Amino acid sequence: MELTDEIRISAPRDVVYRALNDPDILKDCIPGCEELTQKSPTELEAKVVLKIGPVKARFAGEVTLDTANAPEGFSLAGEGKGGAAGFAKGGAEVTLTEEGIETVLSYTAKVDIGGKIAQLGSRLIAGTAKKLSGKFFTRFGEIVSEQPVA
């Protein structure tokens, strides 16, 4: 499954980039996030509870960031396991473009799933994924727009 979208954020690119690398901000934005720990500057570990249709599961996972293209963008790859519910793994390319006093955040994410959640059907999975990413970016935009500019 592939998701693409973009969001306009009322903040300069460097503020948006810093926020995307701040575990406290990310934890506050990720729906169902119980724990987010930064293991290194490029590695995060998370525990997230998600409900997809009738299946509710706690996922534990790791995310690795590639910041070689910072602050214009970065890529990430991750994998999460939800026990009997299944697994999810994938990655995303994120691009940050300054337009005046705003930043346009564009992303393309690819996700593979398996286990019980994969049996729910692609429409339900895609709908849930869009809803969760929408919640994340709405909350992220609110928080970052309130950040003071250094």
* Whole-prediction pTM: 0.86
In which band, very low, low, confident or very high, does the pLDDT at 17 lie, cut at 50, 70 and 90?
very high
pLDDT of residue 36: 94
| Residue 128 in domain | yes
| Residue 18 in domain | yes
In which band, very low, low, confident or very high, does the pLDDT at 123 lie, cut at 50, 70 and 90?
confident
| Residue 48 in domain | yes
As given in the structure block, the two tokens for residue 140 are 């992220």
Tens of pLDDT, residues 99-114:
999 999 999 988 888 8
| Residue 31 in domain | yes
User: Considering its fold, how many domains does the chain have in total?
Assistant: 1
Percent of the chain scored above 90 by pLDDT? Answer: 57
Residue 66 scores a pLDDT above 80: yes
Residue 62 scores a pLDDT above 70: yes
Q: Give the end-to-end CA distance of the chain in Å, rounded to a whole number.
A: 38
Tens of pLDDT, residues 68-78:
899 999 899 99
Residue 98 scores a pLDDT above 90: yes
Tens of pLDDT, residues 30-59:
999 999 999 999 999 999 998 888 888 899
Q: What CATH number is associated with residue 46?
A: 3.30.530.20
Average pLDDT (21-30) is 92
| Residue 150 in domain | no
Q: Look up the domain containing 112 and give its range.
A: 2-145
Displacement of CA 1 from its chain's centroid (Å): 15
Q: What does the DSSP assignment read for the chain?
A: -EEEEEEEESS-HHHHHHHHT-HHHHHHHSTTEEEEEEEETTEEEEEEEEEETTEEEEEEEEEEEE-TTTTTEEEEEEEEE-GGG-EEEEEEEEEEEEETTEEEEEEEEEEEEESGGGGG-HHHHHHHHHHHHHHHHHHHHHHHHTSPP-
Instruction: Tell me which amino acid residue 46 is.
Output: A
